[in-house]
Amino acid sequence: MATWAGTEVSALNPLRALWLTLAATFLLTLLLQLVPAGLLPGCAFFQDLIRYGKTKEGAPPRPAACRAFDVPKRYFSHFYIISVLWNGFLLWSLTHSLVTGAPFPNWLHGLLRILGTAQFRGGELALSALLVLAFLWLHSLRRLFECLFVSVFSNAVIHIVQYWFGLVYYILVGLTVLSQVPMDGRNVYVIGKNLLMQARWFHILGMMMFIWSSAHQYKCHVILSNLRKNKAGVVIHCNHRIPFGDWFEYVSSPNYLAELMIYISMAVTFGFYNLTWWLVVTYVFFSQALSAFLSHKFYKSKFISYPKHRKAFLPFLF
Ligand SMILES: NC(=O)c1ccc[n+]([C@@H]2O[C@H](COP(=O)([O-])OP(=O)(O)OC[C@H]3O[C@@H](n4cnc5c(N)ncnc54)[C@H](OP(=O)(O)O)[C@@H]3O)[C@@H](O)[C@H]2O)c1
């Protein structure tokens, strides 16, 4: 495993700059939400950009102009279709390079170089990136399955900007993982030329964390969908109710917490030291914290009987 000292912590390549900017933007937006409402001018357009789904209900009245940019929230499935296809292609390309020793296609190699691909410096493992890319692909596949066969969507909406952001997001995440593959010129660098020799304890730990967090996220999405069904499993309404069970006993949005845990499990799989990936985790932390905060506010304003001990995002803390 490379150490922090061994990595170029100060190198702010385009990918790192992008994730840092996104993380800072969501941190700032979250901080703005913590300021008492009276102190901030209510801007319908801004609120419309940061809220989606049920949390739009808690925002100031939406002008008709805002509604023109609405996209059904059930289109979340499009994000995962793109991700399964794109990240499936990247996974195939990496596997192909590792098995045959062939370089990445020219255009992909060029793109990775622009974004800031890692030239081998000593210690980076191609197996880590391969596992993380496989996790990302499996995560997208499960989410696509949930969107199509588990979740019951209402007529909730997202902003068209959020829609496009979601599409580009999964392309960028996959490229970020691939850019962490150690390269030797145009070829993937494999220490000792045997991938299995690269297996380390943190790969096992990361995999266990990934399975554990994914299982909880799935469970939470099932709990949410069951709120809209009768005992026979038939959808009977599309309202928002108070969820109970599993991690819902601790936080209002355990599915967002599980998402964060999934990205942390990937950081573990990278061997804990990958700065670029920690910037992705930081972005996921603030974006999910913002959504969880707004959901928590929505539940507390809608239900007088909402459990008092329940936090928004982090058990016992926030
Ligand atoms: N990595 C990222 O940057 C990122 C960004 C966004 C989301 N995500 C992940 O994507 C997943 C889905 O996100 P989301 O924002 O759609 O989650 P969500 O708001 O909790 O919604 C999940 C599903 O449950 C329904 N639902 C929500 N609250 C409900 C309630 N109180 N009663 C009954 N049904 C309810 C929703 O329906 P309606 O909303 O249609 O009413 C939707 O079908 C999450 O796990 C999240 O972590 C990741």
Task: Compute the average pLDDT of residues 81-96.
Answer: 97
Task: Tell me, using a 6 A CB cutoff, whether residue 241 lines ligand 1.
Answer: yes
- Cα of 1 vs centre of ligand 1, distance in Å, is 36
In percent, the amount of the chain with pLDDT more than 90 equals: 77
Tell me what the pLDDT averaged over the chain comes to.
92
Which one of 22, 54, 177, 279 would you pick to mutate in the ligand 1 pocket, going by the greatest count of ligand atoms within 8 A of its CB?
A: 54
Name which of 99, 126, 269 is nearest 189 in CA terms. 126
User: Is the pLDDT at 167 greater than 80, yes or no?
Assistant: yes
Task: Tell me, using a 6 A CB cutoff, whether residue 227 lines ligand 1.
Answer: yes
Tell me the backbone φ, ψ of residue 213, rounded to 5 degrees.
-70, -40
Name which of 134, 279, 94 is nearest 214 in CA terms. 134
User: Is the pLDDT at 74 greater than 50, yes or no?
Assistant: yes
Tens digits of per-residue pLDDT, 111-148?
999 998 766 666 678 999 999 999 999 999 999 999 99
pLDDT of residue 166: 98
- Cα of 114 vs centre of ligand 1, distance in Å, is 34
Task: Compute the average pLDDT of residues 262-266.
Answer: 98
Helix (H) or strand (E) holding 133: helix 126-145
pLDDT of residue 285: 98
- Cα of 231 vs centre of ligand 1, distance in Å, is 22
**3-state DSSP call for residue 274?**
coil
DSSP state of 193: G
